[in-house]
Chains A and B, each alone.
Chain A
Amino acid sequence: MAEGIKDKVAIIGMGCTRFGERFDASPQDLMVEAFVECLQDSGLEKKDIQAAWWGVHMPDVSVGRGATTLGVTLKLPFIPITRVENFCATGSEALRGAVYGVASGAYDVCLALGMEKLKDTGYGGLPLAGGLGYKAPLHMFNLTAPGGFAMMATKYFSKYNLNPQDGKMMLAKVSAKSHKNGALNPKAHLRKEVTVEQVMNAPVIAWPLGLFDCCGVSDGAAAAIVCRADMAKKFRPDPVFVKSIQISVSSGEEMLYTKWDGAHVEPGYRAGVAAYKEAGIKNPREEVSMAEVHDCFSITEAVAMEDLQFSARGKVKEDIDAGRFNSDGAQPIQIDGGLKCFGHPIGASGLRMMYEMYKQLQGKADKRQLKDPKVGLTHNMGGFPSMCVVSVCIVGK
């Protein structure tokens, strides 16, 4: 009988680069930057790492495929390394691999490292790079990431009778909140506060989403070292324990069948339910102290609040208006600035989110430090609302 991974694995070291348009840094520079911080933070030596999981989503525009880039760049001594890729949940998938490696009893200490170099393509937005296969351009619409999520905003507005102005206002508050948080974070890409009016009046990228509804496009890397929970206190007094890691993947039902309402992310709900069960959380709205959710676009965050049961269906606007998710609210979201301010180097994002939860739980989040958080949650969503991968990780003291 499967018993899950709750409290079997601890995070004992983490590193995260400054995110941004790192025209100064090669992919390898970013990987080393994250790894060095991570290793130092853990107090371990490189030889203690027994296996590694390496996440990069678009290796074809940066380092190429396979696991060798990690081994060669970090000079890891012939250990098992697996490259993982699962859309925007790639970073969380790398962490899941490392955590499962330890939880299975196969290893004592594992490394997860995620990196993405997006800014060598010469254009904004995510690289195309043939990521959906030869056939996709022939049968899919001329899709971009903002367009894919804009369709959910269109549908959300329609389902809950929000006129475009009110809908855009709701989303603008999501982005303004994250910019306020990100302004305090030296590792964030975008560090400027913006007003709700600025967000509302920004040029449209994909209707109804404007420029500030979209996260940045950045380079970055982040890493974690995990070990057996029973060993963790040997290495540091304040390890962070993994309560659950769950992933849910679309079944095709949303895209092909006509029951999906287009205003929520079904795998987001399902991954949340599974993660809460594994972690033993009964009331997510009350028990989850803080979360880093996948805010590639403002609508993604708004809907995630409902998918994760922080807000009731159709009611997120009330919570946003009430400031529930602000840094001084009842349930702070994107306390580090989120994808909104960090941008979304895909392979790194899930680990970057965890980096903030880890620092917050250790009380080391500097100006952003929340008062005594107990439970942190990260949420990654990859693909499009109609066809996606969602990961939910829950950590605590």
Chain B
Amino acid sequence: MVGIKSYGAHIPRFRLDRNIMQMALLFLGFAPLRGEKAVANWDEDSITMAVAAAQDCLKGEDLGKVDGLYFATTSQTYALRQNAGIIAAALDLKTDSRTADFTDSTKSGTAALLAAADAIAAGSLNSCLVCAADLRVSKVASNGDYTYGDGAASFLLGKDDVIATIEGTFSTTHDFVDRRRLEGERLEHMWEERFIRDAGYMKFIPEAAAGLVKKYNLNVKDFSKVIYACAFTGAHAALGRTLGLAPEQVQDPMLATVGDTGSAQTLMMLVAALEDAKAGDKIMVISFGQGCDAFYLTVTDKIAKIKNKKAVKRNMANKVALGSYEKYLAFRKLMPCEIGIRGEETVFTSFSVISRENRELYCMVGSKCKKCGTPSWPVQRICPNPDCGAVDQMEPYRFAEKLGNIFTYTSDFLAPCIDPPGSYGFVDFEGGGRAGLDFTDCDANTLSIGMPVELSFRIKFADEKRAAVNYGWKAMPIVA
């Protein structure tokens, strides 16, 4: 039976305290919102967060059996150029795979997951990776500004060895306009909050729950956890009562800790639910967008085999205070910042280079000498080992999941960076090979020679003149 084989998540390291937002924005009005929201680093976007979640999900899985990748977001980086294709490249998904983007509604995450499940059930796909990520930007001091958080979830779907089977689905569609954004616009617009709450969440979530329960002759009391989308803390609690749920059945929407992650919200909640689930548990999921997708799962005894995931818990624990609302504005390019005239020099993005050398740049595939075993990145034709020097004896060698140690480093205030200093250095990899890499998600003061690092797919730089966001792998300290 089709179900989930593995899960993963990514929550950016920075948290922005809503009180700090409030202090900065009080002149525009009081917003009674508490807690904090997860804020993507300046070098993250929906694509990189999806890759991070997918890496977490794929840990210990056989990528060779995966033949599909569906990506859901409302904050796609490219409107033309498949975002899922970039994620597939970064993950080294085999090229005879089906990829697709699901966009423009916050229920796109569940839409992607259900489409993947259907493709597997139909026999079109063997195993499909589903990623949902959102990094939404709305007007300063808007409801979205306060409530949105950044994050990603990923699931590997398949038929065998599933940890949870997808038992049934029920979907609704309503042209209900809570939020909107036209082609070419960057910032979202939102209709009145009370309207969205009362005519949206309070109506469509119960409708979807009732439809699912009725269709499969279930009772809400049968579920150990019920996951339902909601952007508003009060309304989320009220919905629990409306649905007749006991408090322990209600899955935490993480609004006070991460924020509303849009397309990823219910799927991140599902990751969190699975982290605590035991065999036999039933979990209901209801997303919200222009209508709802509802489905339910039964957890199998294979759940016990899942371990060493960052998932939600470890990601939650790895947090650093962003400290200032202005820094958030700078990260999201909502405030023009002087980073030096040096930083105004754009480099030319050559897409023939990116296409030709895609596996090296996006997939972090270097070469390994078949004669002496020396791995190299970037790709070499001639072995750099001075005692070997073999010519064209290389096989592809992927570094992306290799761990390493800092060989040397610096933190550079001259390098143009929106969050100076820019830190970078050389990394020696377990298994061999040395590469010079930018560092990310690190504190300059804590870097040291020998520090263990792992790799993370990030934005290298944006080349706005040529409609390019350029990606690559960076090193970041390993967080226990």
Contact = CB atoms under 8 A, between A and B. Distances in A.
Given A137-B470, A143-B415, A206-B413, A257 B374 contact: yes
A125 B412 CA distance: 12
A23 interface: no
Interface in B396-443: 407-417, 421-422, 424-426, 428, 432-434, 436-438
B413 A154 contact: no
Given A135-B357, A150-B412, A262-B408, A142 B422 contact: yes
18 contacts: A122-B341, A129-B345, A134-B347, A135-B357, A137-B461, A139-B361, A144-B412, A147-B414, A147-B415, A151-B410, A151-B426, A155-B449, A206-B410, A206-B415, A256-B433, A257-B384, A258-B433, A259-B386
Kindly name the residue among A130, A135, A141, A150 whose own CB sees the greatest number of chain B CB atoms within 10 A. Answer: A141
A253 interface: yes
**Interface majority SS (helix, strand, loop, mixed), chain A:** loop
**Interface majority SS (helix, strand, loop, mixed), chain B:** mixed
B479 interface: no
Contacts of A147: 410, 412, 414-415, 422, 424
B460 interface: yes
Interface residues of B, number: 49
Interface of B: 340-342, 345, 347-350, 353-354, 357, 360-361, 374, 376, 378, 380, 384-386, 407-417, 421-422, 424-426, 428, 432-434, 436-438, 444, 449, 460-461, 470, 472
Contacts of A25: none
Given A128-B342, A141-B438, A258-B433, 17 more contacts: A124-B342, A125-B414, A134-B353, A139-B360, A142-B416, A143-B412, A143-B415, A143-B424, A147-B410, A150-B412, A158-B408, A204-B411, A206-B410, A207-B410, A207-B444, A255-B434, A386-B436
A141 B353 CA distance: 17
Kindly name the residue among B408, B424, B461 whose own CB sees the greatest number of chain A CB atoms within 10 A. Answer: B408
Contact of B411 (A128, A129, A207, A386): A207
B414 A144 contact: yes
A253 B384 contact: yes
A258 B430 CA distance: 11
Interface string A188-224: 0000000000000001111111000000000000000
A135 B360 CA distance: 11
Contacts of B416: 142
A257 B385 contact: yes
A256 B434 contact: yes
Contacts of A256: 376, 380, 384, 433-434
Contacts of B461: 137, 142
A15 interface: no
B347 A121 contact: no
A84 interface: no
A257 B421 contact: no
Given A134-B348, A135-B353, A206-B421, A123 B342 contact: yes
Contact of A130 (B348, B357, B380, B414): B348
A386 B426 contact: yes
Contacts of B357: 135, 138
Given A142-B415, A256-B380, A123 B341 contact: yes
Nearest to B388: A257
A344 to B, nearest CB: 14
A130 B347 contact: yes
A140 B436 contact: yes
Kindly name the residue among A125, A145, A251, A256 whose own CB sees the greatest number of chain B CB atoms within 10 A. Answer: A256
